[in-house]
Amino acid sequence: MNQGWVYTDRITPTEANLSVLDFYSNRYRHSSRAEWRDRILSGQIRLNGDTVSPDDYLHAGHTLTYHRPPWQEPEVPLGFEVLYEDGDVVAIAKPAGLPVLPGGNFLAHTLLHQLRLRYPENPPIPVHRLGRGTSGVMVLGRSPLARSVLSRQLRDSTATAHNPQAAHPIRKTYRALIGASNLPAAFTLTTPIGKVDHPALGYVYAASPTGLPAYSEGIVIQRTTDSTLVEVTIRTGRPHQIRIHLATAGFPLLGDPLYGVGGIPLIVEPAADGTVPVPGDIGYHLHAYRLELPHPRTQEPLQIVCPAPPALQAPEPKF
């Protein structure tokens, strides 16, 4: 059991005049209206520090807190290997299945919490994220300078992705496994990515004509009768970019429970417990294989490689 958690929301002008029950059941659809009513009536929800009733109305500036009791978190792989480490930068091999940040049913079973346990004095901070089901290399900022420089470089790379003349100091290359495909040996994917409706979460990121620009360059490494191994380098850092882009091209990742052809969430019947696929579900094959960047302090080039799992290993060259 973990220690429980307090979730805080500050009411905006557009949310004013909603009831407490309407606010939670509209904003957080992972729980039913009846479940939110029970939490409010049991005193788990507080308004400006005081207990509240489901029908009380909200005003802009109000603060709501949900005091979630301790719960048993799902089992996940908690260990990780350090691939590179100095006073500014740490690079680790994140295992598939380990969430990076707290969310949903995960609080202590996250990379962020494990970093705090391993580095209690000055835990390094992730400057980018990998999906829960994605494995591979992640870079963390240990010093304030590193966190600032790396975050700025990632933002700049995304902002200038479509300008071939612009500098792209950070290169993130992934391995992914899709079904049999007719993808060309080299390909570029540029479908915009934005928010679309989701029945449990309110929204998820997916292919969207009104979304933000996204840019992926890929090559085919191996083809078999039932699969294609690809390597994809992303210039932008949109959520679930590779999963969405390959699905938009007609080739979702093998085992992806969420994204289907077209790069939008699959339409599936809810499970017996009412759950539907969400981005954090695992089962797909995606691995952050290589990260190239200038060291944030020295500007010397760094290349960090995390060996791929067996399903994503490239064939040995034949001579």
> Cα-flanking dihedrals φ and ψ of residue 263, to 5°?
75, 25
Q: What percent of the chain has pLDDT over 90?
A: 80
Residue 159: is its pLDDT beyond 90? no
List, for residues 221-266, the tens digit of each pLDDT value. 999 999 999 999 998 989 999 999 999 999 999 999 999 999 999 8
> Binning pLDDT at 50, 70 and 90, where does residue 61 land?
very high
* Per-residue confidence (pLDDT) for residue 254, from 0 to 100: 97
> Binning pLDDT at 50, 70 and 90, where does residue 319 land?
low
* Per-residue confidence (pLDDT) for residue 290, from 0 to 100: 97
Number of Cα atoms under 13 Å in the Cβ half of residue 100? 20
The pTM (predicted TM-score) of the whole model is 0.89
Rounded Cα gap, residues 258 and 276, in angstroms: 9
List, for residues 68-123, the tens digit of each pLDDT value. 999 999 999 999 999 999 999 999 999 999 999 998 899 999 999 999 999 999 99
Domain ranges within the chain, ordered by starting residue: 5-68, 81-312
Nearest residue to 162 (alpha-carbon basis) of 246, 249, 234, 241: 234
Architecture of domain 5-68: Roll (3.10)
- Cβ(311)–Cβ(285) below 8 Å: yes
SS3 of 234, please? Answer: strand
- Cβ(219)–Cβ(185) below 8 Å: yes
Nearest residue to 90 (alpha-carbon basis) of 114, 63, 59: 114
Q: Are strands 216-223 and 186-189 parallel, antiparallel or unpaired?
A: antiparallel
- Could you tell me which CATH number the domain at 81-312 has? 3.30.2350.10
Nearest residue to 34 (alpha-carbon basis) of 49, 19, 24, 47: 24
- Cβ(110)–Cβ(80) below 8 Å: no
